[in-house]
């Protein structure tokens, strides 16, 4: 683990705060903390470690991991949770080895310029965005928060760092609309990234993808969230349009001998083999219009208890819930061998962002 930082949050009831943290993280991220002998609780996932321990003056927290960019997200989440209990304590959090400068743009933030927006197939738009320095997007982590003014008529006011290590977001008329997307490709030498946006009615990110003209700008904060496949045999990977880029990034890390099935929401006439890196996995396409209704049955057909080595899903909330239950129950997979994540939720703007 390359980076680490720690803090002690001065609260009168650290055990309560620790329990609030654990409940939040376990429910939001479907993860479980281990209990240590000294009363501390810790969680290790994707190379990151978070450890809570009640201390005489408050709650001690240590974070360690391979990517500094992710720390900005963790610190923001931590400050938001503390805020619910004690506003002053949240503002007064101070982390060791803090690299961000108060009042400056977040260290993992860039304003990118649209180079081109191309339709990959109906309902899927590829945005190619540029910035002179995209070094920090070259990473095993692949998701970024893409952001723009919530009122498209206004000029963007970007977040600035607070002394507590969390970004301070503009409010009121300057409010930003921020949503997670996946970096499908990062070409450092060309100073370009691609993101593929599944377009739909009533979303600002979707509207931007369809309407923005070359030269227009968006903010991007990240990356966070690893796309490294740790398994190679009998894989089951599925996603609707929102997870198409993620499946491509996962396949990029798969060894040549990897086997299994990939199920994606793309039209039958789209050249999906050209979209994905070369792979031995079978690629099954499902009509995007039918994907939400059909993906569960397709998943049951293509997986088997004791056989499926790893299962992944990214897409709509209801699908993600049902598939997680199936991966854990019927297939007997655990937090290390399955991941089913809601990338969006029907009728709920900004779910998961």
Ligand X SMILES: Cc1cc2nc3c(=O)[nH]c(=O)nc-3n(C[C@H](O)[C@H](O)[C@H](O)COP(=O)(O)OP(=O)(O)OC[C@H]3O[C@@H](n4cnc5c(N)ncnc54)[C@H](O)[C@@H]3O)c2cc1C
Point out which residues bind ligand X (CB under 6 A).
143, 177, 179-182, 195-198, 200, 202-206, 225, 241-242, 245, 343-350, 352-353
Mapping DSSP to helix (H, G, I), strand (E, B) and coil, where does residue 83 land? helix
Minimum CB distance to ligand X smaller for 15 or for 348: 348
Minimum CB distance to ligand X smaller for 277 or for 349: 349
Q: How far is the CB of 127 from ligand X (least distance, A)?
A: 10
Q: How far is the CB of 197 from ligand X (least distance, A)?
A: 4
Residue 53: CA count within 13 A, CB half-sphere: 14
Minimum CB distance to ligand X smaller for 170 or for 350: 350
End-to-end CA, the chain: 26
Residues 6+ apart with CB under 8 A from 343: 180, 239, 240, 242, 243, 314, 315, 316, 320, 352
Minimum CB distance to ligand X smaller for 95 or for 109: 109
Could you give the CA distance from residue 146 to residue 182 in angstroms, rounded to a whole number?
9
Q: How far is the CB of 156 from ligand X (least distance, A)?
A: 15
Single out the residue of 43, 62, 353, 316 nearest to residue 222, CA to CA.
353
Minimum CB distance to ligand X smaller for 53 or for 228: 228
Question: Which two structure tokens, joined as six digits, stand for 20?
Answer: 């609030």
Dihedral sign of CA atoms 252, 120, 180, 109 in order: positive
Single out the residue of 279, 260, 276 nearest to residue 331, CA to CA.
260
Minimum CB distance to ligand X smaller for 62 or for 115: 115
Single out the residue of 194, 180, 127 nearest to residue 341, CA to CA.
180
Q: How far is the CB of 145 from ligand X (least distance, A)?
A: 9
Minimum CB distance to ligand X smaller for 66 or for 352: 352
Could you give the CA distance from residue 230 to residue 336 in angstroms, rounded to a whole number?
9
Q: How far is the CB of 243 from ligand X (least distance, A)?
A: 7
226 forms beta bridges with 141
Could you give the CA distance from residue 134 to residue 96 in angstroms, rounded to a whole number?
26
Q: How far is the CB of 340 from ligand X (least distance, A)?
A: 12
Q: How far is the CB of 22 from ligand X (least distance, A)?
A: 22
Residue number of the CB closest to ligand X reads 203
């Amino acid at each position: 683990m390359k980076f680490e930082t720690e803090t002690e949050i001065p609260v009168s009831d650290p055990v309560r705060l620790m329990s609030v943290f654990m409940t939040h993280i376990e429910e939001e991220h479907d993860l479980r903390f281990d209990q240590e002998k000294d009363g501390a609780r810790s969680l290790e996932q994707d190379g990151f470690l978070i450890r809570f321990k009640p201390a005489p003056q408050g709650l001690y927290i240590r974070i360690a991991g391979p990517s500094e960019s992710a720390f900005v997200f963790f610190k923001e989440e931590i400050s938001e949770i503390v805020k619910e209990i004690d506003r002053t304590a949240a503002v007064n959090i101070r982390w060791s080895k803090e690299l961000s400068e108060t009042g400056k743009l977040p260290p993992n933030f860039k304003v990118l310029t649209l180079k081109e927006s191309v339709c990959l197939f109906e309902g899927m738009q590829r945005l190619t965005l540029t910035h002179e320095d995209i070094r920090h997007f070259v990473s095993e982590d692949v998701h970024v928060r893409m952001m723009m003014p919530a009122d498209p008529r206004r000029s963007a006011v970007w977040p600035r760092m607070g002394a507590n290590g969390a970004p301070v977001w503009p409010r009121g008329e300057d409010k930003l609309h921020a949503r997670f997307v996946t970096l499908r490709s990062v070409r450092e030498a060309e100073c370009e990234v691609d993101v593929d946006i599944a377009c739909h009615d009533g979303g600002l990110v979707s509207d931007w993808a369809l309407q923005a003209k070359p030269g227009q700008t968006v903010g991007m904060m990240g990356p966070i969230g690893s796309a490294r496949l740790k398994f190679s045999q009998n894989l089951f990977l599925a996603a609707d349009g929102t997870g198409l880029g993620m499946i491509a990034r996962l396949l990029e890390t798969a060894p040549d001998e990897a086997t299994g099935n990939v199920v994606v929401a793309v039209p039958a006439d789209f050249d999906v083999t050209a979209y994905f890196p070369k792979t031995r996995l079978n690629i099954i396409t499902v009509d995007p219009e039918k994907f939400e209704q059909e993906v569960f049955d397709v998943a049951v057909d293509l997986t088997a208890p004791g056989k499926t080595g790893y299962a992944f899903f990214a897409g709509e909330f209801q699908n993600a819930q049902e598939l997680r239950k199936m991966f854990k129950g019927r297939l007997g997979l655990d937090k290390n061998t399955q991941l089913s994540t809601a990338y969006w939720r029907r009728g709920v703007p900004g779910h998961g962002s």
